[in-house]
């Protein structure tokens, strides 16, 4: 085991100057530094995307409000969606994968460190390109300064006829560039997990986090490629006279929908599998029990990966597919509930009979279980195609997917932040502030997204910058907007806690949670080489074996 | 005496509560004029019947799993800080895992079969020979309605006859788009179906009650997607026939407003708008031949009053910023004359 780092002679040299430290970060190929850069980058965009959401919610606080113009509102929902998916959720999950996978499989770095750095910078510049549209997107005819085509940019709204100037071009290019970065990360994760595991760690003894990220990376390769292809086709349409999606010249708007959603639905699982991964690490440690049913958890993950490639057209129940087409996608959509349900029951069974410690990471994971349950059930409602003919594109579907992405993914992400913060920084966060963050965010989340289902059931479509009074929507929209401020307060507490703990938090030591996976066997923060000597494992919980030599896991696995 | 009064009071409260409940359940006074749970037409009714099954099943799953989660959180919380013993390690149970694989599969099969049947019923409905046919064309940001067999063209306010369940006269809508994607959603009549250029779609409704049913475009179509409102007037057969008759007449003119007509024909109005019987035959904007028979203008954005009409002609962007109709830069008297002319188009 590699429980200690190599002792270096104490150095009394003062830390290098700021420029030099910056240079070290910018030129780094270290998976841990790149991981942290992904996370910080995504946190900045989380705040930007949150501000955009807040602007929309203030506009919708009452009917016929004129806080922003329709043009600005349409830009806000386009930028909010694009930012949150491509420049918050994906990079932040890539960041954690980057940081954690080599540590958890006992490797010194990712398989391709330089590709890793290249991928990060592609993603980073992709995000900057998107936001440069505020300055550079003006283009001809004063046609707007940021894309306003919606985050799934349905054709033909993106054709030159309807989207003049360059704002849509910035949207296309930023996704194209960041897509290259995403594929680079995915290739790296697959290679790392398959080739870099330490001695003794067969695939069957690998922790669940690398497993889930392996499947996620496979999905990225399969799903981001068609999106990238579609962006190129759209550029051909816009500048080289192509007619793929140009309906005025015989192109097909429906084909864009298929291209987008054959990316867009696996994308949901690209985001949620790493969230499952966090839950699968945090819940066992704070329940003090091994994960329940490891083989079936892996099998369910692979099943989700496969089925998720065949459900995309449930986003298209209203576009006039044939009855057999609709029926097929109902079947696949409902089928994916089975492996997902297995996971929820297995997490419950992990907690069952355990000793649950209500530390901040666990609170977020318990809330995740509760919220993801609801998100899954509303997903079944939406998967029932005729019901979707009402619910699709209404505020119900907005509430549903925010339940997945915020209630599921962001909650486990916050859990992951608190759980691995001591490892990344070497310091403990403030537990009281952590719990305050949890409760503020929990209350705000439920105020916003529970009540957001109702206007959808009452006929309120998405993407409207204002609405008529007398539809019975007013009170619900007011409550939804109030919830946003609780969430914002929670995020402020979170950032305050991070900044305070980075400087003042008590030193955490290498294993503050009495946990069982390899990353806790090295120092906090880990040295650049991760482990003084590469570890060797005999079970899925090498540190359990070390701490309980009388009752090691490998006797049972 | 006192108790008697209280009992009467209680009964009154109960009656009151009952009336309130009845009001909620009454389709005529729903929570919202666009409440999906107050259907008045067969497709919406079938959907809501299916949704009851789905809601019951998902509700039951929620109660079971939530109870297990709440029980686990309360029962297995760490009680004493001093207790450092680890709990018994359990690695799995094939029987349990099999149970929570097989039971969900059975539930999925039931839900799938129920859903497949409703899809087949709604999408496979046969068009009877007496069905009304309407072509709906979505435009940025208004609705065009054409009745091909009745030779009527109108905009933004769809009129259809009520359908007697014993002798159904459903309305079949062919959905087209002139520009971007739109979606036709009047929740109390049917689920939504998109209007996609180069991709004709079909939907049908058979409203069982007369009345005005509201909805709006449900697929983002551009700047003024929010004010692309839908109004469907379900009328008795006689009223509907009278409306058709009135709509098939050419425009009626009055010599006193010829100044306004001259401005209308001279300005770019006629590039986009049509008035049957005049030089105006544009198709980019709504047909105005019977403008004054409509309750609203600007696709439902405001009521059709002379004052609103005047404001609209003066500068459409004030009422509907980003809409496609330009302000023509007319002087005050010109706008007045034009408004007066339009007000004669009954």
A145 vs A550, higher pLDDT: A550
DSSP per residue, A458-470: TTPBSS-S---TT
Using pLDDT thresholds of 50, 70 and 90, give the confidence band for residue A457: very high
Say which residues have a Cβ less than 8 Å from residue B245's Cβ, sequence separation at least 6. none
Q: Are strands B229-235 and B157-161 parallel, antiparallel or unpaired?
A: parallel
Q: Find how far residue A243's CA is from the centre of its chain.
A: 34
CB neighbours of residue B44 within 10 Å: 26
Find the residue in A nearest to B57 (Cα). Answer: A377
The domains of chain A, with CATH numbers, are 28-555 (1.20.210.10)
Q: Over chain B, what is the mean pLDDT? A: 89
CA distances from A446 to A481, B153, B281 (A): 11, 47, 54
Query: CA B1 to CA A531: how far, in whole Å?
Result: 87
Q: Residue B78: which of A344, A357, A468 has the nearest Cβ?
A: A357
State the pLDDT at residue A265. 95
A144 touches chain B (CB under 8 A): no
Radius of gyration of chain B (CA): 28
User: What is the CATH T-level fold of the domain B255-342, as seen in this structure?
Assistant: Immunoglobulin-like (2.60.40)
Token digits of residue A436: 């305050």
**Which residues in chain A touch residue B89, judged by CB atoms under 8 angstroms apart?**
289-290, 551, 553, 556
**CB < 8 Å to B191, chain A:** 318, 386, 388-390
Q: What is the rounded CA–CA span in Å between residue A424 and residue A432?
A: 20
Q: What is the pLDDT at residue A434?
A: 97
Beta bridge partners, A2, equal: none
Q: Are strands B157-161 and B211-216 parallel, antiparallel or unpaired?
A: unpaired
Q: Is B194 helix (H, G, I), strand (E, B) or coil?
A: strand
pLDDT for the residue numbered A556: 83
CB contact under 8 A, B91 and A384: no
- What is the Rg, in whole angstroms, of the alpha carbon atoms belonging to chain A? 24
Q: What is the DSSP letter of A427?
A: B
β-partners of residue A461 are A394
* Residues in CB range of A348: below 8 A, 6 or more apart: A369, B65, B68, B69, B72
Tens digits of per-residue pLDDT, A271-292? 999 999 999 999 999 999 999 9
> What's the pLDDT band for A412 if we cut at 50, 70, 90?
very high
Minimum Cα–Cα distance from A318: chain B residue: B193
Statement: residue A61 has pLDDT above 80: yes
The residues in A 267-326 lying below 8 A from B, measured between CB atoms, are: 287-290, 292-296, 318-320, 322-323, 326
pLDDT digits (tens, 9 = 90+) for A154-198: 999 999 999 988 889 999 999 999 999 999 999 999 999 999 999
Return the pLDDT at B251. 81
Q: What is the pLDDT of residues B125-172, one digit of tens each?
A: 999 999 999 999 999 999 999 999 999 999 999 999 999 988 899 999
Per-residue pLDDT averaged across A488-504, rounded? Answer: 96
User: Phi and psi at residue B16, in whole multiples of 5°?
Assistant: -60, -50
**Cβ contact A345–B100 (<8 Å):** yes
Provide the pLDDT for residue B26.
Answer: 45
Question: What whole-number percentage of chain B has pLDDT above 70?
Answer: 90
Hey, what long-range contacts does B9-16 have (CB within 8 A, 24 or more apart)? Answer: none
Contacts of A557 in chain B (CB under 8 A): 91
Of B78, B104, B220, the CB nearest to A338: B104
Copy the structure tokens of residue B264: 């209308």
Whether cis (ω within 30° of 0) applies to the bond prior to B156 is no
Distances in Å between the alpha carbon of A365 and those of A46, A403, B89? 20, 14, 20
Q: Which helix (H) or strand (E) holds A103?
A: helix A90-104
Q: Do A69 and B123 touch (CB under 8 A)?
A: no
Q: In the beta sheet, which residues pair with residue A271?
A: none
- Which candidate, B6, B115, B10, places its Cα nearest to that of B54? B115
- Torsional sign, CA B208, B209, B210, B214: negative
Q: 3-state SS of chain A: helix, strand, coil percent to 5?
A: 70, 0, 30
- Categorize the per-residue pLDDT at B9 as very low, low, confident or very high, splitting at 50, 70 and 90: very low
Question: Encoding tokens for residue A501?
Answer: 């703990």
* pLDDT per position as a tens digit, A423-451: 999 999 999 999 999 999 999 999 999 99
- Is the CB of residue B327 less than 8 Å from the CB of residue B317? yes
Pairing of strands B132-139, B142-147: antiparallel
H or E, element range at A318: none
Q: How many residues does chain B have?
A: 346
CA of residue A263 relative to chain centroid, distance: 15
Chain B interface test: which of A293, A351, A384 (most B C-beta within 10 Å)? A384
Question: Is the interface score ipTM higher than 0.95?
Answer: no
CATH dotted code for B132-248: 2.60.40.420
In contact, A227 and A193? CB cutoff 8 Å: no
Q: Mutating which of B192, B222, B230, B321 best tests the A interface, going by the most A Cβ atoms within 10 A? A: B192
pLDDT over 60 at A2, yes or no: no
Q: Do A460 and B34 touch (CB under 8 A)?
A: yes
Percentages of chain B per state (helix, strand, coil), in multiples of 5: 40, 20, 40
DSSP letter (8 states) at residue A150: -
Question: Is residue B24's pLDDT more than 50?
Answer: no
Contacts of B333 (CB under 8 A, 6+ apart): none
Contacts of A396 (CB under 8 A, 6+ apart): A378, A382, A452, A453, A456, A457
Nearest-by-Cβ selection for B187 from A162, A378, A459: A459
Residue identified by tokens 């003042």 is A504
Where are the domains positioned within chain B?
35-74+95-124, 132-248, 255-342
How far is the alpha carbon of A505 from chain B, nearest alpha carbon, in Å?
22
């Amino acid at each position: 085991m590699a429980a200690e780092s190599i002792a270096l002679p104490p150095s009394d040299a003062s830390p290098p100057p700021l420029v030099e430290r910056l240079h070290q970060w910018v030129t780094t190929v270290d998976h841990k530094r790149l991981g942290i850069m992904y996370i910080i980058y995504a946190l900045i965009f989380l705040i930007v995307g949150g501000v955009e959401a807040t602007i929309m919610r203030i506009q919708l606080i009452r009917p016929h409000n004129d806080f922003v113009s329709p043009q600005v509102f349409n830009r806000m929902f386009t930028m909010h969606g694009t930012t949150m998916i491509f420049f918050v959720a994906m990079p932040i999950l890539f960041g954690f994968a980057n940081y954690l996978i080599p540590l958890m499989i006992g490797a010194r770095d990712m398989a391709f460190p330089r590709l890793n750095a290249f991928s990060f910078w592609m993603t980073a510049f992709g995000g900057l390109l998107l936001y440069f549209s505020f300055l550079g997107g003006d283009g001809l005819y004063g046609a707007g300064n940021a894309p306003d085509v919606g985050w799934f940019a349905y054709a033909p709204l993106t054709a030159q006829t309807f989207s003049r100037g360059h704002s849509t071009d910035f949207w296309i290019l930023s996704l194209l560039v960041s897509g290259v970065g995403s594929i680079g990360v995915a290739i790296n994760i697959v290679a790392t997990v398959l080739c870099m595991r330490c001695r003794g760690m067969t695939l069957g003894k690998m922790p669940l986090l690398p497993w889930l990220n392996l499947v996620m990376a496979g999905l990225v390769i399969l799903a981001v490629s068609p999106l990238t292809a579609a962006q190129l086709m759209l550029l051909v349409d816009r500048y080289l006279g192509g007619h793929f999606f140009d309906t005025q010249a015989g192109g097909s708007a429906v084909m864009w929908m298929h291209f987008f959603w054959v990316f867009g639905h696996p994308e949901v699982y690209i985001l949620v599998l790493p969230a499952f991964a966090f839950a699968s690490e945090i819940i066992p440690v704070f329940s003090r029990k091994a994960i329940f049913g490891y083989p079936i958890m892996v099998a369910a993950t692979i099943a989700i990966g496969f089925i998720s490639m065949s459900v995309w057209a449930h986003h298209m129940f209203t576009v006039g597919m044939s009855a057999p087409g609709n029926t097929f996608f109902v079947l696949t959509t409902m089928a994916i509930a089975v492996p997902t349900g297995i996971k929820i029951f297995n997490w419950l069974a992990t907690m069952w009979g355990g000793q649950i410690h209500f530390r901040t990471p666990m609170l977020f994971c318990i809330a995740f279980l509760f919220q993801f349950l609801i998100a899954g059930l509303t997903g079944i409602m939406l998967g029932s195609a005729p019901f979707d003919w009402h619910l699709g594109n209404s505020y119900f579907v907005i509430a549903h997917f925010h339940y997945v992405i915020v209630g599921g993914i962001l909650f486990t992400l916050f859990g992951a932040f608190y759980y691995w913060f001591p490892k990344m920084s070497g310091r403990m966060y403030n537990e009281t502030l952590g719990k305050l963050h949890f409760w503020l965010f929990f209350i705000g989340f439920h105020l916003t997204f529970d009540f957001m289902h109702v206007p959808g059931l009452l006929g309120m479509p998405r993407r409207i910058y204002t609405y008529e009074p007398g539809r019975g929507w007013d009170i619900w929209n007011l409550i939804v907007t109030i919830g946003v401020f609780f969430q914002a307060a929670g995020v402020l507490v979170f950032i305050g806690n991070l900044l305070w703990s980075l400087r003042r938090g008590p030193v955490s030591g290498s294993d503050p949670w009495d946990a069982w996976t390899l990353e806790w066997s090295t120092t906090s923060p880990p040295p650049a080489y991760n482990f003084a000597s590469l570890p060797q494992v005999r079970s899925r919980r090498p540190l359990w074996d070390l701490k309980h030599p009388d009752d090691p896991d490998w006797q049972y696995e | 005496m006192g108790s008697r009064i209280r009992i009467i009071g209680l009964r009154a409260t109960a009656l009151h509560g009952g009336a309130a409940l009845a009001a909620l359940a009454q389709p005529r006074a729903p929570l919202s004029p666009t409440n999906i749970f107050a259907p008045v037409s067969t497709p919406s009714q079938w959907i809501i019947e299916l949704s009851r099954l789905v809601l019951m099943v998902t509700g039951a799953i929620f109660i079971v799993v939530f109870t297990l989660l709440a029980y686990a959180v309360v029962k297995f919380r760490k009680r004493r800080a001093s207790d450092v013993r680890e709990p018994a390690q359990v690695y799995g149970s094939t029987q349990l895992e099999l149970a929570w694989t097989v039971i969900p599969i059975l539930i999925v099969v039931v839900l799938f079969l129920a859903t497949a049947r409703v899809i087949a019923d709604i999408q496979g409905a046969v068009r009877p020979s007496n069905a009304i046919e309407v072509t709906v064309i979505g435009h940025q940001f208004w609705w065009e309605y054409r009745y091909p067999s009745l030779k009527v063209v109108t905009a933004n306010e769809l009129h259809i006859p009520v359908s007697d369940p014993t002798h159904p006269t459903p309305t079949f809508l062919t959905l087209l788009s002139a520009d971007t994607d739109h979606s036709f959603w009047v929740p109390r009549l049917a689920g939504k179906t998109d209007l996609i250029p180069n991709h004709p779609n079909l939907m049908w409704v058979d409203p069982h009650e007369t009345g005005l049913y509201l909805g709006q475009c449900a697929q983002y179509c551009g700047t003024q997607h929010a004010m692309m409102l839908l109004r469907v007037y379900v009328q008795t057969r006689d009223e509907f026939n009278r409306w058709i008759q009135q709509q098939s007449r050419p425009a009626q003119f009055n010599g006193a407003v010829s100044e306004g007509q001259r401005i209308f024909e001279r300005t770019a109005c006629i590039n986009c708008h049509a008035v049957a019987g005049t030089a105006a035959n544009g198709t980019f904007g709504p047909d105005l031949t019977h403008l004054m028979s409509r309750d609203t203008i600007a696709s439902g954005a405001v009521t059709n009053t002379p004052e609103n009409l005047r404001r609209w002609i003066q500068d459409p962007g004030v009422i509907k910023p980003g809409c496609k109709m330009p302000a023509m830069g007319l002087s005050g008297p010109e706008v007045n004359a034009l408004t007066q002319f339009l007000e004669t188009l009954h």
